[in-house]
């Protein structure tokens, strides 16, 4: 179902319907809390507590005040009607008889490329050197499934079905005791879409996620706590108390979010729509010095198979006016040069319009960058040819999206190259000249460890499996999900090699079915992770 060929068919076909159903089912699973550890649904919104991570501790100690805001254009944005090729306009217009934008309606970013009139709010941003465009972004073997391509952009792996994300791996590797020692502030905040794989680690999703902006608005204004004691004296009451306590742990960030939110005011006129609500909240949290370094917001509606002209213009007009308001808002507090916004979308659209006055799933498309830290406007890379297309009639990408990710991590967030390479699955991606460099003290490299550990479930048994190259003494303790210690599993010296410990037999304490945590202490380091008793 994830094969690209299904999207070459009529958008009304059964195959296309199944693709969207799969996309929706994945969202449904996330909402139930199945797709990410430590994640659950509350009042119709997906909430994920952001566990501690290597990057959190490192960023907290860093003198770098930079923030990254990822803007997801959900559904596959049409790049050709976003940044219009004036230099090849005749061919562009011939392929899009009913949806092509006339030259007279464009604002010339250069002699070669134009900005649609419905994005006029960005003209001053371009003119003031606060906008750049990366041409032809994509990857080899572009997958045209929403479901699969979204995962590829989040995990950076187009070959294997990787289950961790580029930011999640980064958050996870440098501070491994994330379960039992949560950070003071959320490592990442995601608004407007359910938990994205970009922030997914092995154990949890590292973004504090709220699907409804109003939910985060209420949190930011009021905080949120549940009473775990006023429950009936029965099994249901025990379960309800546990759920409320877990919920309170998740909402431990409500206090710091509230403090940051109340420390600033909105100093710009935003529109009355979702992306405006999301970025208005982000601006207040940044101005209020929350300390979170990465945000993700989402704007839906880019799957423009039919009647594209009005729909696409509406979405891009909302994006443009909101970006302009966002940076006006930040400028009132002097934060405009510290915040980089970057658009992402799972794919572009076909060069040729379809029979429904729209465009079908395509490949390469531009990414847009915004912010005073760009030090000038401009174009990065080469625009793909409109005539030399692949077998599906799509433009061939000229810039790998992972080159952009890698550059932003190294040169904007000041993450050491070795750490970035690890987070990018050692892909050795190229650095691009995006207009900024790391000029402040950044993040220290992670401390490498030869200790590898995880739990294997065999029928009703849970086996702690670990390997190490150097012998050492290990102190392993088991905790419930409230953080209460249940007992010491082992406190012995282990030789180099592979070892297995049966948790239930070794602990000599009855463990009911459910989720637990193990913590390993050795040589001054702590490692913790969660596991299931079946």
Q: Write down the pLDDT at residue 137.
A: 97
pLDDT surpassing 80 at residue 459: no
pLDDT surpassing 80 at residue 1: no
* Whether 522 and 396 share a structural domain: no
Rounded CA separation 385/320 (Å): 26
Q: Is 273 exposed, middle or buried (0-12, 13-18, 19+ CB in 10 A)?
A: middle
Stretch 464-485: mean pLDDT, rounded?
Answer: 85
- Which of the listed ranges 198-212, 375-389, 461-475 does the model predict with the highest average pLDDT? 375-389
Give the residue from 423, 444, 472 where a domain finishes.
423
Residue 78 falls inside a structural domain: yes
pLDDT surpassing 70 at residue 517: yes
pLDDT surpassing 60 at residue 43: no
Rounded CA separation 292/185 (Å): 6
Q: Which residues is 493 bridged to in the sheet?
A: 473
Rounded CA separation 456/40 (Å): 24
Rounded CA separation 507/520 (Å): 14
Rounded CA separation 110/93 (Å): 19
Q: Write down the pLDDT at residue 238.
A: 61
pLDDT surpassing 60 at residue 281: yes
Rounded CA separation 318/484 (Å): 48
Give the domain CATH number at 93: 3.40.720
Please give the distance of CA 293 from its chain centroid, rounded to a whole number.
12
Q: Which residues is 494 bridged to in the sheet?
A: 472
Stretch 1-9: mean pLDDT, rounded?
Answer: 43
* Whether 157 and 75 share a structural domain: yes
* Whether 463 and 371 share a structural domain: no
For 178, 302, 368, the CA distances from 316, given in Å and listed in that order, are 39, 9, 12
pLDDT band at residue 461, thresholds of 50, 70 and 90?
confident
pLDDT band at residue 505, thresholds of 50, 70 and 90?
confident
Q: Write down the pLDDT at residue 33.
A: 28
How many Cα atoms within 13 Å fall on the side-chain side of residue 314? Answer: 12
- Cβ neighbour number for residue 90 with a 10 Å cutoff: 11
Length of the chain: 534
- DSSP symbols for 254-271: HHHHHHHHHT----S---
What is the residue range of 527's domain?
Answer: 452-533
Q: Write down the pLDDT at residue 28.
A: 32
pLDDT band at residue 53, thresholds of 50, 70 and 90?
very low
Residue 4 falls inside a structural domain: no
* Whether 396 and 492 share a structural domain: no
Q: Is 510 exposed, middle or buried (0-12, 13-18, 19+ CB in 10 A)?
A: exposed
Provide the percentage of residues in the chain whose pLDDT is more than 70.
72
pLDDT surpassing 80 at residue 249: no
For the stretch 286-313, pLDDT in tens is 999 888 889 999 999 999 999 999 999 9
* Whether 383 and 467 share a structural domain: no
Q: Write down the pLDDT at residue 432.
A: 96
The candidate with the shortest Cα–Cα distance to 201, out of 45, 332, 354, 39, is 39
Q: Which residue has the higher pLDDT, 174 or 129?
A: 129
- Number of structural domains found in the chain: 2
Q: Write down the pLDDT at residue 49.
A: 32
Sequence-distant (6+) residues with CB within 8 A of 448 are: none
pLDDT band at residue 318, thresholds of 50, 70 and 90?
very high
pLDDT surpassing 50 at residue 359: yes
Rounded CA separation 276/131 (Å): 19
Give the domain CATH number at 516: 2.60.40.1930
Q: Is 377 left (phi over 0), alpha (psi -120 to 50) or beta?
A: beta
Q: Write down the pLDDT at residue 155.
A: 85
pLDDT surpassing 90 at residue 448: no
Q: Write down the pLDDT at residue 50.
A: 33
Q: Where is 329: in which H helix or E strand?
A: helix 308-331
The candidate with the shortest Cα–Cα distance to 377, out of 437, 439, 434, 438, is 434
- The answer to whether the CB of 412 falls within 8 A of the CB of 368 is no
For 135, 298, 481, the CA distances from 73, given in Å and listed in that order, are 16, 6, 36
The candidate with the shortest Cα–Cα distance to 486, out of 442, 436, 531, is 531
pTM of the complete model: 0.76
- The answer to whether the CB of 312 falls within 8 A of the CB of 358 is no
- DSSP-H helix ranges across 165-225: 166-173, 213-222
Rounded CA separation 442/64 (Å): 6
Rounded CA separation 80/83 (Å): 6
Residue 5 falls inside a structural domain: no
Q: Write down the pLDDT at residue 482.
A: 64
* Whether 418 and 457 share a structural domain: no
* Whether 186 and 278 share a structural domain: yes
pLDDT surpassing 60 at residue 245: no
Stretch 9-32: mean pLDDT, rounded?
Answer: 47
* Whether 402 and 465 share a structural domain: no
pLDDT surpassing 70 at residue 477: yes
């Amino acid at each position: 179902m994830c094969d690209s060929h299904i999207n070459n068919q009529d958008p009304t076909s059964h195959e296309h319907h199944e693709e969207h159903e799969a996309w929706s089912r994945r969202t449904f699973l996330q909402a139930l809390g199945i797709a990410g550890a430590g994640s659950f649904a509350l009042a119709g919104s997906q909430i994920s507590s952001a566990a501690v991570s290597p990057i959190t501790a490192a960023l907290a100690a860093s003198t770098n005040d930079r923030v990254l805001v990822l803007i997801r254009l959900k559904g596959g944005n049409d790049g050709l009607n976003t940044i219009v090729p004036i230099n090849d306009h005749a061919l562009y217009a011939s392929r899009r008889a009913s949806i092509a934008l006339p030259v007279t309606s464009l604002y010339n970013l250069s002699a070669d490329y134009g900005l649609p009139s419905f994005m006029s709010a960005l003209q001053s941003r371009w003119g003031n050197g606060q906008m750049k465009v990366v041409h032809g972004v994509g990857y080899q073997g572009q997958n045209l499934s929403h479901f699969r391509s979204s995962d590829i952009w989040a995990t950076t792996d187009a070959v294997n079905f990787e289950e961790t994300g580029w930011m999640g791996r980064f958050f996870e590797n440098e501070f491994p005791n994330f379960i039992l020692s949560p950070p003071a502030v959320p490592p990442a905040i995601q608004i407007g879409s359910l938990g994205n794989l970009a922030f997914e680690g092995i154990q949890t999703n590292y973004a504090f996620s709220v699907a409804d902006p109003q939910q985060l608005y209420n949190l930011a204004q009021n905080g949120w706590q549940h009473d775990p004691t006023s429950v009936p004296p029965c099994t249901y009451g025990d379960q309800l108390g546990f759920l409320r306590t877990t919920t309170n742990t998740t909402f431990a960030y409500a206090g710091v979010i509230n403090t940051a939110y109340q420390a600033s005011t909105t100093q710009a006129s935003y529109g009355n729509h979702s992306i405006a609500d999301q970025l208005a909240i982000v601006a207040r949290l940044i101005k209020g010095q929350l300390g979170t370094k990465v945000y993700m917001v989402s704007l839906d509606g880019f799957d423009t198979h039919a009647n594209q002209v009005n729909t696409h213009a509406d979405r891009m007009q909302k994006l443009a006016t909101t970006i302009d308001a966002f940076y006006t808002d930040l400028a009132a507090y002097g934060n405009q040069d510290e915040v980089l916004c970057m658009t992402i979308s799972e794919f572009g659209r076909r060069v040729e319009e379809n029979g429904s006055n729209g465009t079908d799933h395509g490949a390469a498309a531009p990414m847009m960058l915004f912010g005073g830290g760009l030090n000038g406007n401009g174009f990065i890379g080469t625009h793909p040819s409109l005539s030399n297309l692949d077998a599906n009639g799509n433009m061939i990408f000229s810039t790998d999206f992972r080159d952009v990710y890698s550059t932003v991590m190294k040169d904007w967030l000041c993450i050491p190259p070795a750490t970035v390479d690890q987070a990018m699955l050692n892909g050795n991606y190229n650095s691009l000249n995006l207009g900024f460099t790391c000029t402040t003290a950044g993040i220290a490299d992670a401390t490498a460890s030869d200790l590898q550990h995880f739990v294997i479930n065999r029928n009703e048994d849970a086996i702690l499996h670990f390997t190490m190259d150097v012998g050492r003494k290990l102190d392993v303790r088991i905790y419930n999900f409230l953080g209460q210690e249940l007992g010491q599993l082992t406190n012995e010296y282990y030789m180099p090699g592979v070892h297995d410990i049966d948790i239930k037999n070794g602990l000599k304490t009855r463990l009911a079915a459910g989720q637990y945590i193990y913590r390993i202490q050795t040589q001054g380091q702590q490692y913790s992770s969660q596991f299931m008793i079946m």
